[in-house]
């Protein structure tokens, strides 16, 4: 996933927004989230470490103040450190019909 162009995160939003990310896309690339490995909350909003359908682990970070997501592509082996560029993302809610 590169860092140019617009991107979207699709989330399940039950009692709060960004409760559970389900997919994200940028340009022609679309990834379904196959596993949420870890989730936690920072002062600015929720964070999710997810495994996508391409076998890559990504960090999704939602900033509640600016209403934007950032995604960072993680290395396949976390013990070697993190790499990747952050990308600002737009939000899209799922199940709000």
Beta strands 20-26 and 45-52 are unpaired
pLDDT at 34 over 90: yes
**pLDDT number for residue 81:** 43
pLDDT at 37 over 90: yes
Higher pLDDT, 25 or 31: 31
CA separation, residue 66 to residues 32, 44, 61, 63 (Å): 24, 9, 12, 6
Inter-residue contact 72 to 52 (CB < 8 Å): no
**pLDDT number for residue 5:** 35
Please state the pTM of the whole predicted model. Answer: 0.71
**pLDDT number for residue 16:** 83
Inter-residue contact 3 to 85 (CB < 8 Å): yes
């Amino acid at each position: 996933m590169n860092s140019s162009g617009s991107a979207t995160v699709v989330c399940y939003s039950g009692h709060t927004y960004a409760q559970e990310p389900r997919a994200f896309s940028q340009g022609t690339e679309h990834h379904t989230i196959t596993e949420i490995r870890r989730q936690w909350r920072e002062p600015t909003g929720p964070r999710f470490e997810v495994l996508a359908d391409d076998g890559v682990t990504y960090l999704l970070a939602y900033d509640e103040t600016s209403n934007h997501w950032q995604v960072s592509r993680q290395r396949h082996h976390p013990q070697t450190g993190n790499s990747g560029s952050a990308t600002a993302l737009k939000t899209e809610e799922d199940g709000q019909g």
